[in-house]
């Protein structure tokens, strides 16, 4: 099968197009013929080596975390899927590889594709949808009537998280550029701040939840907009000790995580605010809940561009540039 392979970590590295064997299927996995693959900033960060401590992958490596496609084969322990099913998923860590014609996916991480979406639209959903779900519902326990600040509202996670938060009945604040203010408002943002001309920490007050996806400076400013008892959930770091424990990281790595997050955890505690680092996990059950919301019309995908499979490196570079409105997808079949 054709695939795009990373040979070494590095910001200047590009993926090599090559032919590789179809992956061996484990007993609890489904082999998916890839029709479309979402492209995420996580792919670029792994390529650049930014997650080597958390995800020590061996090279060569096929990148890609989001898939939409058709079941080609099932392992002997799989009962819920059959060949021909249209499915989608965020594949599991250490089994990534959706920038290819076939990818194995654990059955517990898979869900049937929403009936009202194309393959390209479906491929745009899993990683950002599960990130928003696990941040807002699982971690922050966002409730009707609460106020949430979602950074970078026009990005992949932001466009989904705004819609999810509005569905939950929250009041939503967000940041974006002036050119995207109309977009985030259409998605449901109640307060849209132009980050180039306005300081959000001077405008927002008494929020219950912040979903942080930006740098450390923005993370510290976010503490100022939260009420006492509020929750700061960061998907861009720094990782906290609980995360190190959750992934059973070596003692040295856990120590590094403790040091990296010591400053923000101390400042959060002094304000009576909870801090959590979230590195989302594949979850088929949650993806099925997301499917129901999509099929009911509560959430719709936001896609910036669809690249052909032969332009996978261009798609990755476009995402890494940080200007995409919503998601970027590669059409494989």
- pLDDT band, very low/low/confident/very high, at 74 (cuts 50, 70, 90): very high
- pTM, entire model: 0.97
Report the percentage of the chain scoring pLDDT > 90: 92
Asked if 211 and 135 count as a contact pair (C-beta separation under 8 A), the reply is yes
| The pLDDT of residue 223 | 97
- pLDDT band, very low/low/confident/very high, at 53 (cuts 50, 70, 90): confident
Asked if 128 and 301 count as a contact pair (C-beta separation under 8 A), the reply is no
* Fold match between domain 2-125+301-331 and domain 128-277: no
Looking at the predicted structure, is the pLDDT value of residue 122 above 90? yes
Looking at the predicted structure, is the pLDDT value of residue 248 above 90? no
The two structure tokens encoding residue 203: 């405008």
| The pLDDT of residue 246 | 87
pLDDT tens profile 276-322: 999 999 999 999 999 999 999 999 999 999 999 999 999 999 999 98
Exposure string over 258-289, b if 16+ CB within 10 A, otherwise e: eebbeebbebbeeeebbbbbbbbbbbbebbee
The architecture CATH gives domain 128-277? 3-Layer(aba) Sandwich (3.40)
pLDDT tens profile 76-103: 999 999 999 999 999 999 999 999 999 9
Q: What is the DSSP secondary structure assignment for residue 130, as one 8-state letter?
A: H
- pLDDT band, very low/low/confident/very high, at 58 (cuts 50, 70, 90): very high
Residue recorded with tokens 């971690």: 139
Looking at the predicted structure, is the pLDDT value of residue 247 above 90? no
Residues in the chain, total: 333
| The pLDDT of residue 54 | 85
Looking at every residue in the chain, the average pLDDT score rounds to 96
User: 2-125+301-331 sits in which CATH class?
Assistant: alpha beta
Domain boundaries, the chain: 2-125+301-331, 128-277
DSSP string of 113-155? PPTTS-HHHHHTSHHHHHHHHIIIIIIS---TT-EEEESSTTS
| The pLDDT of residue 182 | 96
Mean pLDDT of 97-113: 98
């Amino acid at each position: 099968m054709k695939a795009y392979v990373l040979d070494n970590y590095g910001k200047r590295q590009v993926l090599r197009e090559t032919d590789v064997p179809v992956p061996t299927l484990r007993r609890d996995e489904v082999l998916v013929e890839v029709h479309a693959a979402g492209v995420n900033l996580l792919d670029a960060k792994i390529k650049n080596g930014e997650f080597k401590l958390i995800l020590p992958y061996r090279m060569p490596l096929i990148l890609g975390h989001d898939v939409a496609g058709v079941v080609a084969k099932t392992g002997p322990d799989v009962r819920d899927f059959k060949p021909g099913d249209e499915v989608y998923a965020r594949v599991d860590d250490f089994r990534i590889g959706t920038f290819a014609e076939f990818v194995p996916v654990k059955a517990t991480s898979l869900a049937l594709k929403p009936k009202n979406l194309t393959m390209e639209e479906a491929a745009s959903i899993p990683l950002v949808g599960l990130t928003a779900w696990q941040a807002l519902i699982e971690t922050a326990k966002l409730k009707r009537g609460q106020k949430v600040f979602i950074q970078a509202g026009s990005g992949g996670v932001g466009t989904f998280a705004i819609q999810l938060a509005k569905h939950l009945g929250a009041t939503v604040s967000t940041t974006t550029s002036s050119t995207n203010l109309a977009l985030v408002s259409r998605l449901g943002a109640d307060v849209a701040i132009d980050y180039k001309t306005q300081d959000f920490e001077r405008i927002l007050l008494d929020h219950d939840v912040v979903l942080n996806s930006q740098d450390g400076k923005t993370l510290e400013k976010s503490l100022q907009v939260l009420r006492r008892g509020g929750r700061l959930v960061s998907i861009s770091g720094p990782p906290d000790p609980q995360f190190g424990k959750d992934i059973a990281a070596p003692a040295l790595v856990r120590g590094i995580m403790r040091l990296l997050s010591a400053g923000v955890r101390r400042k959060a505690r002094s304000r009576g605010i909870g801090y959590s680092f979230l590195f989302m996990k594949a979850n088929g059950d949650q993806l099925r809940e997301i499917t129901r919301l999509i099929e009911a019309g509560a959430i719709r995908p936001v896609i910036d561009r669809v690249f052909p499979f032969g332009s996978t490196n261009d798609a990755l570079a476009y995402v890494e540039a940080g200007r995409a409105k919503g998601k970027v997808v590669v059409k494989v079949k």
